[in-house]
Structure 1
Amino acid sequence: MAGLLGTSLCGALLGLLCMSAPALAVEVKVPAEPLSAPVGRTAELTCTYSTSVGDNFALEWSFVPPGKPISASHPILYFTSGHLYPTGSKANRASLLQNPPTGGVATLKLTDVHPSDTGTYLCQVNNPPDFYSNGLGLINLTVLVPPSSPLCSQSGQTSVGSSAALRCSSSEGAPRPVYHWVRLGSSPTPSPGSMVQDDVSGQLILTNLSLTSSGTYRCVATNQMGSASCELTLSVMDPSKGRVAGAVIGVLLGVLFLSVAAFCLLRFQRERRKRPKETYGGSELREDAIAPGMSEQTSVRADSSNGLLERPHSASSVTTTKSKLPMVV
């Protein structure tokens, strides 16, 4: 009996000693749920810890981009030996809610958050010789960005009976926007079976197009920060009407060509009739006519008064139709 009482007493004393001894493990607490902050605002990343701060106490905040491992983290700030050292690309926007952070609060303040601030933040407390835990807390932050103006595009044939795809996409938006297509105006809406849309990809499929499918379609991109939209006009053509229209245009062009040709021909004939004819009467003399009884070879004599040249007459070059008269002495 005395042995049992001694053993119980020793166990109770050891328990009291263990309860009275200070805890050596650093305990870090961060929010379990992801955090979010609108772009341009200030984000507070809550981090608390419990330990007896000593001379070797150190606090570090670091950042991991989305999709990267923790080993790829980038430092944001350090606190050690009683001094705060901001560092990295976020240094001018990062600070501590309490400085120095020796009262158990290590909350980080990040002002004017950018879309590139989305990622995982690490709050790590080191307080040697408290090495019985990693003293690490992880916080996921999402920067909320309204959708940018989407771009509307169209692909596929736009003739009667064919299919067409309308697409809509925003280059920015967090969380990722959802898309919804609506048809504007008072025209009848296509049947549900011929109009299928995907809210995630922003694609609208129109099948079995008809002339009533023509119209203006609007795509609206929406997330919790706002919405933006774009519009696209769809024109469905009837191939048979296109062929008839082409034939009519060809006939009209042919008639026009023939009309122009006939007009030009009539005008040419009219101008020809108005042009005077060159005729010569019996009494008219031509300047180049040869006097009767003269041969074509006439003399040319030089005339100093008018600058004309004439040939002197010679017996051999002048002939007459009359006989020579005898000379009277």
Structure 2
Amino acid sequence: SLDTGPDVEAAYAGRINLRVSVPTGDVALTIMKLTLQENNKIRCKVQIPKDTSGKGYASTTLVVLVAPSPPVCRIVGTTEYFENINMTCASEEGSPAPTYKWQSYTVNNVPRPNPLKATDVNGLLSLYNISIDTSGFFVCTSQNKIRSATCNVTLAVMPPSMKLGSVGAALIAAAVIGLILAAIGIYCCCCRKRKEQSEEYTMG
């Protein structure tokens, strides 16, 4: 009703302005302080008593433009020879939704193609059977029609590390071998002393 004003939800209180011109039949809706929640379809519906002909409504899509927030880059997996790893890149905000692209650089900061068999899909870069040649810098660009933002990670591929269990087993084995050798040495020394004592007794 024009007398009481439009019905407005609490979330839009103070942010909605509706201007109605009865002579021209125009209605203007103004939304202030836009947020991402307004990314939606908006429908205008007209109700005229006893008028059932024609289309009673029209709709449009409101797109709120927001630049991508600085993305976050992460390495997921073990960065050792012959392993498979993933690199992730994501912006928390951005409208329209950002697109992502990874660029690889050598350890000397020279651009290079992504490794063979690598896949780069929606911010997820998958690397397979990595080696020392895979080491370098990886830069992810998050971009939409407003602007772009980047993040980067450093990948250092290392030889396979010794497992903790293997190290413990090796130490125990070394200790056992050491004790056996020590026991043999003590036994030989004792036998030699007994032999020398027996020979001295015989000569006496």
| TM value normalised by structure 1 | 0.44
CA–CA distance in structure 2, aligned partners of residues 234 and 136 of structure 1: 56
Mapped pair 1:160 → 2:81:
yes
Residue 17 of structure 2: aligned partner? 95
Residue 52 of structure 2: aligned partner? 131
Instruction: Work out which of the residue numbers 126, 134, 143 in structure 2 matches 1:222.
Output: 143
Equivalent residue of 1:162, what SS? coil
Mapping of residues 33-112 of structure 1, within 5 Å:
80-82=1-3, 84-88=5-9, 89-96=11-18, 98-112=19-33
Instruction: Work out which of the residue numbers 96, 109, 116 in structure 1 matches 2:37.
Output: 116
CA–CA distance in structure 2, aligned partners of residues 154 and 91 of structure 1: 44
Residue 22 of structure 1: aligned partner? none
Displacement after TM superposition at 1:162 (Å)? 2.1
Equivalent residue of 1:146, what SS? coil
Displacement after TM superposition at 1:224 (Å)? 0.7
**Is 2:68–2:149's contact at 8 Å kept on the other side of the alignment?**
yes
**Is 1:82–1:100's contact at 8 Å kept on the other side of the alignment?**
no
Residue 193 of structure 1: aligned partner? 116
Q: How far does the alpha carbon of each residue in 1:157-184 deviate from its partner, in whole angstroms, 9 at most, with x for none?
A: 2112222111111121111111111124
The 1:81/1:171 distance shift into structure 2, 3 A limit, reads closer
The 1:81/1:95 distance shift into structure 2, 3 A limit, reads closer
**Is 2:20–2:26's contact at 8 Å kept on the other side of the alignment?**
no
Q: Read off the aligned partner of 2:46 and give its amino acid letter.
A: V
The 1:148/1:101 distance shift into structure 2, 3 A limit, reads farther
The 1:221/1:188 distance shift into structure 2, 3 A limit, reads closer
Displacement after TM superposition at 1:114 (Å)? 0.7
Instruction: Work out which of the residue numbers 123, 132, 155 in structure 2 matches 1:234.
Output: 155
Residue 62 of structure 2: aligned partner? 141
Instruction: Work out which of the residue numbers 76, 95, 104 in structure 2 matches 1:174.
Output: 95
Displacement after TM superposition at 1:101 (Å)? 4.4
Sequence identity, in percent?
30
The 1:131/1:178 distance shift into structure 2, 3 A limit, reads same
Equivalent residue of 2:14, what SS? helix
**5+ residue gaps, structure 1:** 1-79, 248-329
Equivalent residue of 1:144, what SS? coil
- With CA pairs under 8 Å and 6+ residues apart, which has the higher RCO, 1 or 2? 2
**Is 1:161–1:207's contact at 8 Å kept on the other side of the alignment?**
yes
| TM value normalised by structure 2 | 0.68
Q: Where do 4+ consecutive residues of structure 1 move more than 4 Å?
A: none
Q: How far does the alpha carbon of each residue in 1:21-47 deviate from its partner, in whole angstroms, 9 at most, with x for none?
A: xxxxxxxxxxxxxxxxxxxxxxxxxxx
Displacement after TM superposition at 1:189 (Å)? 3.0
**Is 1:121–1:139's contact at 8 Å kept on the other side of the alignment?**
yes
Q: How many residues align?
A: 160
The 1:161/1:186 distance shift into structure 2, 3 A limit, reads same
Q: CA RMSD in A?
A: 2.4
State the structure with more CA Rg: 1
**5+ residue gaps, structure 2:** 168-204
Residue 130 of structure 2: aligned partner? 209
Residue 303 of structure 1: aligned partner? none
CA–CA distance in structure 2, aligned partners of residues 178 and 141 of structure 1: 20
Displacement after TM superposition at 1:84 (Å)? 2.8
Q: How far does the alpha carbon of each residue in 1:52-93 deviate from its partner, in whole angstroms, 9 at most, with x for none?
A: xxxxxxxxxxxxxxxxxxxxxxxxxxxx25553351121311
